[in-house]
Amino acid sequence: MTKIITEEIRLHQESPSDVFLFGTPKDRLDFYRREIHYETSLLSNRTNAYLTAQSFLVIAFASSMANLNPRWGELFTLVVPTLMAILGIFSSLHAWPGFRASYVIIDHWHFKQSHLLRSDPVMGEAYDDSPLFNEKESSQQGYRKSLMFSMRTPWLFVIFWALLAGFCIYVQLTNSSP
């Protein structure tokens, strides 16, 4: 049986319990701040894990470039470091969506927090009188600048790995014995 939606039935009707979900504007602000803190911690953990993996890959790359075996060293130093650089590029490209997702969620909660602080007269007064809150803390530029390291890191490593792969191939092909 199909149901016809008429103008009388709304897709989202606010019930009295929805209005009091948070209780007070301070409860809502606390909730937004906890969400921001959680997502920022998640982004920080992702960034730390990513940088750790990349640092181990750089060490392995450098070690493989130092191979001096006379029989298979030239082929090894051409193939293995190049494959590691390709792995570095792919891991960077796969890390980017996770970083971007955290950034979008943090941006969303900052928007909600900013809207609350500007729209609710009670929160607005507390916002203006309290030294704990200031415009720099809740402005878009402030938190976005603090997230730029995590947002740029994968792209910087993509460039880094591409340059290392090019260098590796160039060095091995120009120094190969005829």
Structure tokens at 8: 């009388």
Does 108 reside within a domain? yes
**pTM of the shown model:** 0.73
Does 77 reside within a domain? yes
Domain containing 126: what range? 24-174
Does 168 reside within a domain? yes
Does 6 reside within a domain? no
Q: How confident is the model over 4-38, as pLDDT tens digits?
A: 555 554 444 445 554 556 677 778 888 888 999 99
Structure tokens at 94: 């796969």
Q: How confident is the model over 137-174, as pLDDT tens digits?
A: 555 566 778 888 889 999 999 999 999 999 988 988 88
- Calculate the alpha carbon distances from 83 to 20, 69, 96, 167 in Å: 57, 19, 20, 13
Does 13 reside within a domain? no
Domain count across the chain: 1
